[in-house]
Amino acid sequence: MSNDAYLRGLLGQQDLTQEQLDSLRALRAKIEGQIRALPKLERVYYGGSFGKHTMIREQFDLDIVAYWPSDCGYPLKDIYAAVGKVLRDNWTYVTPKTVAWELPFQGGFHIDLVPGRALDGTFRYANLHRRDTGASLQTSIKVHIDTVSDSGRREAIRLMKLWRVRKRVPFKKSLALELMTIEGCKGIPTAELEKQLLAAFCHIRDNILTAKVVDPANSNNVISDEMTYGEKLAVQTAAKAAIDAQFWNQVFSV
């Protein structure tokens, strides 16, 4: 078996079952039905790995985005609080996060609901309420999805996410891992998985300590700043180990 065949076999093992996909869609529909009771809610759609088609069966969650129109008249803080109240009225466990509300489930799975207010009628960009600072965060989940889709690196990204899970690599934000993978794979044919992974690992090893990884939807959001220097060192060490491994099953062993 060639190395690429082995890697593609790994990818196949990480596909979600139809039952799992149906369950995620049913949960989204249930939650959407609950928050639709809030006035002027305009758009609800998938974000995160479901929206980007980069989920792995080993570990996944579900991101749901709920946007109010720019002229709704509601302060961001009130939108965030209202969504939290609805969720707490309907679910036993609800945890506030930086810009989202988390619904934890058994086995480590969780749902993040991200409320926001669109900048205009396209609903492409939005302001989110930051619970930790009280400020607003401008970003675009749609741009994040398009960035991954347009890169052609979904397969490589899924394998890098599997490496992160199995080796407990402290990439705090999936978007940071995705962007560094995309950058590292530049110029390499999308069909060549082994070359893409090696290039991604080398890019991370050489740049994780100093790279300024920014949100493609807003350059003022420096994603790499959310990792400590110690976490970056641990990521670099893990990338070095992956490069030095003799066989791919060592890179992806638990």
All structural domains of the chain: 15-139 (3.30.460.10), 152-251 (no CATH)
According to the model, what pLDDT value does residue 30 have?
97
CA atoms of 186 and 197, how far apart (whole Å): 11
According to the model, what pLDDT value does residue 118 have?
97
Indicate the helix (H) or strand (E) that contains 116.
strand 110-118
Residues of the chain below pLDDT 70: none
CB-count burial class (<10 Å; 0-12, 13-18, 19+) for 91: middle
Look at strands 214-215 and 95-96 and give their pairing.
unpaired
224 within 8 A of 176, measured Cβ to Cβ: yes
According to the model, what pLDDT value does residue 8 have?
96
Indicate the helix (H) or strand (E) that contains 149.
helix 141-151
CA atoms of 26 and 28, how far apart (whole Å): 5
